[in-house]
Amino acid sequence: MKKNILLILRSAPYGSSKARDAIDFILTAAAYDQDIHVVFQSDGVFLLLNNQDPSQIPAKNTSSLISAFEMYDIDNIYCERQSLTERSLSEEQLIIQPVLIEKSTEIQSLIHQADTVLTF
């Protein structure tokens, strides 16, 4: 059975394991052929910043995992415009081209359409 699962990623990479935990779940759910939607919100937008090199921490590069989402047919990826603006980030600095969420009604309808919503 296919469920619409919405993931809201609100945590920056490396400082905590939350984003990694979320990505591991997303890749598993995709392997189980679920209908995955991913929203990057708040500090979660830092996951999308280009030129990350965590090799000296050392930690696994979460941005390369996110770049691979497309390969797993995870195509419904969104990012809150306001979260980018608040953090002085522009679209050009991102590793992928997510759908930009301009209005809160857009995220509300993603939540509305989902069967289950998990935040990390």
Binding residues for other proteins (CB under 8 A): 1, 3, 5, 8, 10, 17-18, 21, 24-25, 28-29, 31-32, 34, 41-42, 80, 82, 104-105, 107-108, 111-112, 114-119
CA atoms of 36 and 6, how far apart (whole Å): 6
Of 28 and 50, which has the nearer Cβ to other proteins? 28
Tokens of 84: 């980018």
- Cross-strand partners of 58: none
Selection from 112, 119, 90, 110 nearest residue 37 by Cα: 110
Structural contact between residues 3 and 115, judged by C-beta atoms closer than 8 angstroms:
yes
Of 50 and 105, which has the nearer Cβ to other proteins? 105
- Least separation in angstroms between CB 51 and other proteins: 25
CA atoms of 83 and 39, how far apart (whole Å): 11
Of 21 and 70, which has the nearer Cβ to other proteins? 21
